[in-house]
Amino acid sequence: MHKNKLPLIEKIFALPYSALGILWGGLVVLFACAYFALGQWLPSHAPYPIGTESILQSLGDSIYFSVITATTVGYGDILPQGLSKLLAAIQAIVAFFVFGLCISKLVSSKQEVAIRQMHKLTFEDVFRNTREGLYIVRKDIDHVLAQAEAHRRVDEEHWENLAVALKQAESLIVEIPEFYASGSELYVIDERREELLQEAVHRTLHRINQMLDRFAALGIDWQGRGIAELGPLLTIVAEVAAHWKSESPYAQHEAFDDILTEANHTRGKMGHIV
C-alpha cells in the first residue's frame, strides 16, 4: 500500500509552485461548491448561515468559509454543522497537506542550493589541493636533483624525502577518479580543470623521468632506493589513466596517452627490476 502511495506524493511534490497553487485554489473552489450545494439542498447540514441567505450571499459565504477553513484560521463567524463538519475537517487536512508540501518544497530548494554550494567549495578545495600537492612533489624532486648536481650523490635525508614525495604522488593520483564518481550531478568537473589535472600528472611523471636521466648521467644508483616507491606509483598511474579516460566526458584522449607514455618511459628505465 505504501509503495503505491509514495509515487503519488512524490509526483505532487515534484509539481512547480504554480501547479501547487492552482491545486490549493482548486480545492478551495471545490469545497466552496460543496458548502453552497449543502446550503441549497440540505441547509441543516450546511455551515450556518449558508442556505438561510440569498443565493449570491450564500455563494460568497461559501467561498469565504472555504478559504478560512483551508488556511485553518477559523474565525467562528460561520459555524459548520452536520455533514459540513466532516467536509471542513477533510478540507483542513488536505489543504494543510498541500500547504505543507509547498513549505517542504521551499525548504528543500534552499537546502539543495546550500548543498550545491558546499559541494562546489569542497570540490574546488580538493582540486586545488591535488594540483598543489603534485607541485610540491615536483619541488621535492627538484631539491633532490639540486643535491645530486652539486655533489654527484644523494644523501640519506634526500632519499627519504624522495620516497615520501613519490608516495604522496601516488596518494594524490589515486584519488583523481573521485572527481567523476559522485554520480550526483551536483558539480561536474569542467574541461579546463580536467586539462589542468592532466597537465599536473604529466609534468610530475616527466619530472621523475628527468630525475632518472640525470641520475644515470651522474652515475647515481637509484634503483635500489627508488624502486619500492616507483613500482606502485606506475601501477596506480596505469589504472587511474585507464579509468580516467573512460569516465572523462571530454575528448582529451591525447593527454591520457601522453601520461601513459611518460609512465612507460619510467618503466622502461627500471628495466627488468619492475
Domains (ranges, CATH) in the chain? 2-81 (no CATH), 116-273 (1.20.58)
Rounded Cα gap, residues 157 and 140, in angstroms: 12
If we measure between CA atoms, which residue out of 108, 113, 249 comes closest to residue 188?
A: 249
Sequence-ordered list of residues with C-beta below 8 angstroms from that of 45, at least 6 positions apart, any chain: 38, 81, 82, 83, 84
Sequence-ordered list of residues with C-beta below 8 angstroms from that of 80, at least 6 positions apart, any chain: 47, 65, 87, 88
pLDDT at position 6: 54
Rounded Cα gap, residues 172 and 128, in angstroms: 11
Rounded Cα gap, residues 247 and 23, in angstroms: 43
Contact indicator for 169, 134 with CB cutoff of 8 Å: yes
Confidence of residue 214 (pLDDT cuts 50, 70, 90): very high
Residue 107 has pLDDT above 90, yes or no: no
If we measure between CA atoms, which residue out of 258, 139, 143, 140 comes closest to residue 197?
A: 258
Contact indicator for 223, 245 with CB cutoff of 8 Å: no
pLDDT mean over 221-229:
72
Confidence of residue 186 (pLDDT cuts 50, 70, 90): low
pLDDT at position 91: 94
- Residue 215, phi then psi, degrees to nearest 5: -60, -45
Please, what is the average pLDDT of the chain? 86
pLDDT mean over 178-200:
77
pLDDT mean over 124-145:
93
Rounded Cα gap, residues 32 and 184, in angstroms: 44
pLDDT at position 245: 85
Phi-psi category of 250—alpha, beta or left, where left has phi over 0 and alpha has psi -120 to 50?
Answer: beta
